[in-house]
Structure 1
Amino acid sequence: MELAVIGSGKTLSVSDAIFGREFSEDLVHQVVVAYRNAGRAGTKAQKSRSDLSGTTKKFKRQKGGGARHGDYRAPIFVGGGVTFAARPRSFAQKVNRKMYRGAIAAILSELNRQGRLKVVEKFEVAEPRTKAMVAKLKELGIEHRPLIVTEDATESLYLAARNIPYVEIRDVQGLDPVTLVGAEHVVMTADAVKKVEEWLA
Structure 2
Amino acid sequence: MKVEVKTLDAAGSGEVELNDAVFGVEPRADILHRVVTWQLVNRRAPARAARERSDVARTGKKFGRQKGGGTARHGDRRAPIFIGGGKAHGPRARVFSASLNKKVRALGLKMALSSKAQGGQLIVVDNLDVAEGKTKALAQKLGSLGFGKTALVIDGDALNVSFAHASSNLPGLNLLPAVGANVYDIMRHETLVITRSGLEKLEARFNG
TM-score range, shorter chain: 0.7 to 0.9
Task: For residues 38-91 of structure 1, give each alpha carbon's deviation from its aligned partner in whole angstroms, at most 9, with x where no partner exists.
Answer: 2322233222211123222345789xxxxx98545356x566534543233221
User: Which runs of no fewer than 5 residues in structure 1 stay unpaired?
Assistant: 63-67
Residue in 2 that maps onto 1:124:
129
SS at the partner of 1:165? coil
How far is 1:8 from its partner?
3.2
TM-score of the two chains, using structure 1 as the length reference:
0.83
**What residue in structure 1 maps to residue 201 of structure 2?**
195
Counterpart position of 2:5: 5
Q: Which residue of 2 aligns with 1:93?
A: 98
Counterpart of 2:16 in 1: which secondary structure? Answer: strand
**Amino acid of the residue matched to residue 177 of structure 1?**
V
The CA distance in 2 between the partners of 1:135 and 1:174, in whole Å, is 27
Secondary structure of 1:23's counterpart equals coil
Structure 1 residue 168 displacement after superposition: 0.7
* 1:140 match: 145
Question: Closer, same or farther in 2 for the Cα pair 1:9/1:164, shift >3 Å?
Answer: closer
The structure 2 residue matched to 1:103, chosen from 105, 108, 117, is 108
Name the aligned partner's letter for residue 14 of structure 1.
L
Gaps of 5+ in 2: 67-72
TM superposition shift of 1:32: 1.8
Partner amino acid, structure 2, of 1:5: V
The letter of the residue matching 1:165 is P
How far apart are the structure 2 equivalents of 1:16 and 1:176?
19
Using the size of structure 2 for normalisation, the TM-score is 0.81
CA–CA separation in structure 2 for the residues paired with 1:26 and 1:44 = 32
Q: CA deviation at 1:194?
A: 1.9
Say which of 160, 166, 175 aligns to 2:166.
Answer: 160
- SS at the partner of 1:115? coil
Identity of aligned residues (%): 33
2:33 counterpart of 1:29 = yes
Summarize the Cα distance change of 1:154–1:9 in structure 2 as closer, same or farther, 3 Å threshold.
closer
1:15 and 2:15 correspond: no
Aligned structure 1 segments of 4 or more residues deviating by more than 6 angstroms? none
**Among 171, 184, 187, which residue is 1:181 paired with?**
187
Question: Within 1, Cα distance between the matches of 2:12 and 2:201?
Answer: 20
Residue of structure 2 equivalent to 1:57 = 61
